[in-house]
Structure 1
């Protein structure tokens, strides 16, 4: 069928123009721990084509710095995928892939210390106090040893709230107490941090690709906003925020006080450590948007479809949905969101450039039903939405 930009005012088909299917760009993020961005794009495409077999589908799985960042960049850019073992959030080894494209490295903090490494039963206050980002520092060391001169670190989806202390220890700057004793892993121990023993050895330019703009401390900081999803109760949130305030003073001895900077609170404060090391901040969604050609895809689109596990207020603070929606709005292309759950109101969604948002769990009859068959229920929702937006 004709796009709105090709119709005349009477709605009649211009002479010599061939009728075709609607061009749909499907550009989702991953859906939490249930579907990768690629699997989500495939499910949406399958459902859409079920309802509109004449549609012209372009799949473009994306990420904003959190889980799936390395996978979607590898699929789009090629390069060499390294899969070393590094220290996981509990101190045990985990496999954490990173991507080398020329002299540039793309790392994903969630691969080393992501929430998916922590089963729901272990997301307790004690876990929130003790998990570490040490593995992310080990990934940076591996990239440096491979000859990379710049590292882009995707921030998001972490299980940690240690302010990047583990990363700094892996790079040679070990947090110690007043007696010079190395601190245990985790954010709670930072209440006793007095200084660093040693100097961090980075040897590369750093880019922090963040999906949020939260500061390190306070009601919008790392502990208060993200601690509860990692197992922190109110008392633990207060404890971690106070410990991070102590650590912020020590971080400033590296030459830069970053506690109030945007993205310092990303990935449980890992952003603060990277900023203190001289990293520049880029929007993770914006960076992926540019690298994988989202704008060119939207230039040829009639409808854009995006989504993630939960379309909530955090989605409006720099996450992927806003990047897709803003790009679509710039071109007058309607943008539709399919998400596991939707809590954003219509006005807020419209202000971000989203024309409509649909919940998989609501369509499936509940969260349990949608989680039992994530791909199938997402495809079923896509088929219904295609009936409304596929003309």
Structure 2
């Protein structure tokens, strides 16, 4: 049998690359004669660059950029050269403004309350500038896992946009609240002739009840009605000066509004999963397989809304190939899984126990894959 292993990351424990390798290793223990192909996946969030580099190769360029609070942080962009299409740069916005770069609250799990009100996406603009300076004619920005809610104002500032008062674009929603003037000509000139793409599965607008603040603000520490109202009002002020119509576009609210800033610069949006799937040739790999395995840390209702497992399952169904999932935890029923193209799902916490799953995630995932192979492989 030919087995395709295409999981997302297991957040907090394994990268997508590590998860794919663990499943492949466990499967081979049971059926060493099966051909197992590991193709780690991502949807634009953390792990975007690593996943693409694992499949596409290319050159990694290390740079130092400003983190969300102005502290320098290391980041890496991927440059992939093509004889006919030129150089494409892949950027992971979370490396410059991710949730993990914000100080933690006392519980150690969530960001410090209110910190996102002053957090900036400036470092993302620096990454884009570095990609252009490196010769990229196409820049794909993976959006996801952001700790900012500034509408991409900081990103625009790093690319040359100016504001009145000075510095209003670089201090998060708090600073945007006082914005009175905006000039984006220099930022647009900086990217003249560059194809800019936002890779994100989020299709929310920038403002309002379905906007960046109200839907995603709490996970960034913007808790309570007052902070949300203030942040959304600040983004509204920004949008009135930058382009109110664009704020309503699908994906404008992705990554705290980074999607909005990319659209303002003439960029386009495409689903993050599709970006990665097309880049690695996933449809052809699925069609050439007898069984497809996907997964992520927690398989829940959010997974059913455009995330990697369902994206992989849709491709498998289109090719008439069975698809199963292995996850840290499974919180949806069999009926919903099958409705989304996943024939069966296996949870580490149910098979090896929660303590073992978190203490030794790679070994646990390999052990579960070894057991699953006995059911699904013809040689098992």
Equivalent residues in 2 for 1:172-321, closer than 5 Å: 172-177=160-165, 182=168, 185-197=171-183, 199=185, 200=187, 201-203=190-192, 204-235=194-225, 236-252=227-243, 257-321=245-309
Contact kept, 8 Å, 1:82 with 1:97, in 2: the verdict is: yes
Q: Are 1:66 and 1:211, in contact at CA under 8 Å, matched by a contact in 2?
A: no
> Contact between 1:213 and 1:317, CA under 8 Å: does it hold in 2?
no
Distance 1:259 1:169 in 2: 18
The CA RMSD measured in Å over matched residues stands at: 2.1
CA distance in 1, matches of 2:351, 2:293: 17
Query: For residues 176 and 344 of structure 2, what CA distance do their matches in structure 1 show?
Result: 44
1:237-289 Cα shifts (integer Å, max 9, x gaps): 3332332222222220xxx6222211111111110111111111111111211
Instruction: Tell me the CA shift for residue 183 of structure 1.
Output: 5.1
Query: How many Å separate the matches in 2 of 1:231 and 1:321?
Result: 28
Q: Is the 8 A contact 2:156 2:184 kept in 1?
A: no
Q: Are 2:8 and 1:29 equivalent residues in the alignment?
A: yes
Q: How many residues matched?
A: 364
C-alpha deviation, 1:308, in angstroms: 1.7
Q: Is the deviation greater in 304-313 or in 114-123?
A: 114-123
Report Cα offsets for 1:219-247 as digits up to 9, x if no partner: 33222222222222123333323322222
Which of the two has higher C-alpha Rg? 1
| Offset at residue 112 of structure 1 (A) | 1.2
CA distance in 1 between partners of 2:346 and 2:307 (Å): 18
Relative to 1, partners in 2 of residues 1:337 and 1:219: Cα closer, same or farther, differing over 3 Å? farther
**Could you tell me the TM-score, scaled by structure 1's length?**
0.86
* CA-CA distance at 1:327 after TM superposition: 0.7
**Secondary structure, counterpart of 1:42 in structure 2:** helix
The offset of 1:369, in angstroms, is: 4.0
Unaligned runs of 5+ in 2: 82-86
2:372 maps to 1:388: no
3-state SS of paired residue (2:248)? coil
Separation in structure 1 between the aligned mates of residue 164 and residue 32 of structure 2, nearest angstrom: 62
**Take 2:329 and 2:232, find their aligned partners in 1: how far apart are those partners?**
29
TM-score (norm 2): 0.89
Distance 1:309 1:296, change over 3 A: same
- Give, in whole Å, the separation in 1 of the partners of 2:22 and 2:28: 10
Question: What do residues 73-118 of structure 1 show as CA deviations (whole Å, max 9, x unaligned)?
Answer: 2222222211110111221111111112232211111121122323
Map Cα deviations across residues 330-367 of structure 1 (whole Å, 9 max, x no partner).
1111111222233334333323222222322333433x
Q: Are positions 1:378 and 2:365 aligned together?
A: yes
For the 8 Å contact 1:305–1:336, the answer to whether it is kept is: yes
Q: Residues 331 and 250 (structure 1 numbering): CA distance in 2 closer, same or farther, change over 3 Å?
A: same
Q: Once the two structures are superposed, what CA deviation does each residue of 1:127-149 show, in whole Å capped at 9, x if it has no partner?
A: 22222111110011111222222
Q: Which deviates more, 357-366 or 287-296?
A: 357-366
User: 2: CA distance between counterparts of 1:26 and 1:282?
Assistant: 24
Q: Which residue of 1 aligns with 2:320?
A: 332
Question: What is the aligned partner in structure 2 of residue 137 from structure 1?
Answer: 125
Mark the runs of 5 or more structure 1 residues left unpaired by the alignment.
1-21
Query: CA 1:360 to 1:214, structure 2 compared with 1: closer, same or farther past 3 Å?
Result: farther
Cα distance in 1 for residues equivalent to 2:332 and 2:210: 19
1:115 is aligned to 2:99: yes
Given that 1:124 and 1:232 are in contact with CA atoms closer than 8 Å, whether structure 2 keeps it comes out as: no
Distance 2:77 2:264 in 1: 22
